[in-house]
Amino acid sequence: MDNDAYGHVNNVVFYSFFDTAANHVLIHRTGLDPLASEAIALVVESRCTYHRPLAYPDLLRAGVRVDKLGRSSVTWGIGVFREGDEEAAAHGQFVHVFVDRASRRPVPIPPHVRAVLERMVRP
């Protein structure tokens, strides 16, 4: 996902960054296994506000928090930063709904996942 014709990372790529950041938390901090867990998280909504362009080979970092925690959903607040920058190049929200893997019907957030997410809720 190198630079586009305009010489910067294309806007749509930021949604991939958001997906990676949120799933990194789910996999590495809560132990959710997207290939085997009974409950999985599906994206139902996303949005992004762009502040400044990024370009390959910029080094990036993401800040992740929980903006809202529901019974079966989590709204992530995510900022994407150029390494060393204090202000985000873009920020947005990414909503996951937890569903049963087989039926795809909403289910409560698993307790072990909820415990981690509760500690990430925006003050």
Residue 6 lies in a domain: no
pLDDT of residue 1: 61
Residue with tokens 């039926």: 103
- Count up the domains in the chain and report the number: 1
Full residue range of the structural domain in which residue 98 is found: 13-118
pLDDT of residue 66: 98
Residue 2 lies in a domain: no
Residue 5 lies in a domain: no
pLDDT of residue 2: 80
Note whether 9 and 1 are within 8 A (CB).
yes
Residue 19 lies in a domain: yes
Residue 102 lies in a domain: yes
Reduced to 3 states (helix: H, G, I; strand: E, B; else coil), residue 15 is helix
Helix ranges (DSSP H) in 1-123: 13-28, 111-118
* pTM to 2 decimal places: 0.92
Question: Which domain CATH number covers 70?
Answer: 3.10.129.10
Please give the chain's pLDDT, 123 residues, in tens.
689 999 999 999 999 999 999 999 999 999 999 999 999 999 999 999 999 999 999 999 999 999 999 999 999 999 999 999 999 999 999 999 999 999 999 999 999 999 999 999 988
Residue 1 lies in a domain: no
Residues 6+ apart with CB under 8 A from 12: none
